Structure 1
Amino acid sequence: MKAKVPKDFKAPDMTPYDGTTNPSHFLSNFRSCMYLTNASDATRCKAFPTTLTKTTIKWFDSLLLRPITSFNDLAKKFLARFSIQKDKTKNAPSLLGIKQGDRESLRSYMERFNKACLDIQKLSTKAAIMGLINGLREGPFRHSISNKHPTSLNEVQEWAEKYINMEENSRLGETLETRFSHPPRNKDKESRKK
Structure 2
Amino acid sequence: MHLQGVPDEIMYRAFPTTLKGPARIWFSRLMPNSIGTFKELSTQFASHFIGGHRYKKSTACLMNIRQRENEMLRSYIARFNKEALLIDEADDKILVATFTNGLRKGKFLFSLYKNDPKTMSEVLYRVTKYMNAEDALLAREEKPRKKERPEDVRLDRGWKMATIGE
TM-score relative to the length of structure 2: 0.68
Where does the alignment leave 5 or more consecutive residues of structure 2 unmatched?
2-9, 148-166
State the partner residue of 2:98. 131
- 1:157 CA drift (Å): 1.1
Partner of 1:147: 114
Give the match for residue 16 of structure 1: none
Q: What fraction of aligned residue pairs are identical, expressed as a percent?
A: 28
Pair 1:122 & 2:89 matched: yes
44 and 61 in structure 1: CA distance in 2 versus 1, 3 angstrom threshold: closer
Structure 2 vs 1, CA of residues 61 and 139 (structure 1 numbering), >3 Å: closer, same or farther? farther
In structure 2, the residue matched to 1:62 is: 29
Q: What is the match of residue 18 of structure 2? A: 47
Task: Pick closer, same or farther for the CA change 1:149–1:43 going to 2, 3 Å.
Answer: same
Q: Structure 1, unaligned stretches of length 5 or more?
A: 1-30, 32-39, 184-194
Q: Could you list the per-position Cα deviations for residues 125-145 of structure 1 after superposition, in whole angstroms to 9, with x for gaps in the alignment?
A: 111111000111222211211
Determine the structure 2 residue equivalent to 1:191: none
Aligned residues: 139
RCO higher in 1 or 2 (8 Å CA, sep ≥ 6)?
1
- Give the drift of 1:113: 1.6
1:50-90 CA distance string (max 9 Å, x none): 2x24xx654333224434743x5443222212323333442
In the alignment, which of 138, 142, 149 is matched to residue 171 of structure 1?
138
Could you report, residue by residue, the CA deviation over 1:25-61 in whole angstroms, capped at 9, with x for unpaired residues? xxxxxx9xxxxxxxx733332221x2x24xx654333
**Greater C-alpha radius of gyration:** 2
Q: Could you tell me how far 1:162 is from its partner in structure 2?
A: 0.8
Cα distance between partner residues in 1 of 2:64 and 2:36: 45
Note if contact 1:133-1:142 (Cα within 8 Å) is conserved in structure 2.
yes
From 53, 59, 65, the equivalent of 1:86 is: 53
1:181 aligns with 2:145: yes
Alpha-carbon contact 1:91-1:120 (below 8 Å) kept: yes
Q: Does 1:160 align with 2:131?
A: no
**Alpha-carbon distance change, 141 to 74 in structure 1, aligned in 2, over 3 angstroms:** farther
